[in-house]
Amino acid sequence: AQSVTQPDIHITVSEGASLELRCNYSYGATPYLFWYVQSPGQGLQLLLKYFSGDTLVQGIKGFEAEFKRSQSSFTLRKPSVHWSDAAEYFCAVGGTGGYNKLIFGAGTRLAVHP
């Protein structure tokens, strides 16, 4: 079965601290992996994606993610969190090809303390 697990429902970090959000997936074929961010009352904004190649991918807003095939994981990181990063973060997996249905994890809500 295709699924995405985000084990942390809520995470709180201090501003300036590093951030790591975990994601594990189950997918029968070669996956495309995504991290989206949702600020309150907003839509889903794509942070970064992994299709193939280098397992460390860079995204917007200083985020990066590491893909580990052996662990079926796609971990999102940021070296220094800003208060504006407080939001909900969703990991998603999809297939290759033109049509791509995404399967989302339940999300991790990030709170940032000043």
Partner 1 sequence: EPEVTQTPSHQVTQMGQEVILRCVPISNHLYFYWYRQILGQKVEFLVSFYNNEISEKSEIFDDQFSVERPDGSNFTLKIRSTKLEDSAMYFCASSSGDSKLFFGSGTQLSVL
How far is the CA of 106 from the CAs of 36, 52, 91, 109, in angstroms? 12, 24, 8, 10
Q: In this complex, which beta carbon is closest to partner 1, that of residue 56 or of residue 106?
A: 106
Q: Write the interaction track for partner 1 spanning residues 73-112; mark x where CB under 8 A is met and - where it is not.
A: -----------------x-x-xxxxxxxxxxxxxx-----
Whole-number minimum distance, CB 104 to partner 1, in Å? 4
Residue number, 52 or 114, with CB nearest to partner 1: 52
- In whole angstroms, the minimum distance from the beta carbon of 31 to partner 1 comes to 10
- Report the distance separating Cα 4 and Cα 2, nearest Å: 7
Binders in 1-60 for partner 1, by CB under 8 A? 32, 34, 36, 41-46, 49, 51
**In terms of Cα–Cα distance, which of 27, 8, 10, 2 is closest to 75?**
8
What's the one-letter identity of residue 97?
A: G
What are the distances in angstroms from CA 17 to CA 13, 80, 89?
Answer: 6, 5, 17
- Which residues would be at the binding site for partner 1 (CB under 8 A)? 32, 34, 36, 41-46, 49, 51, 90, 92, 94-107
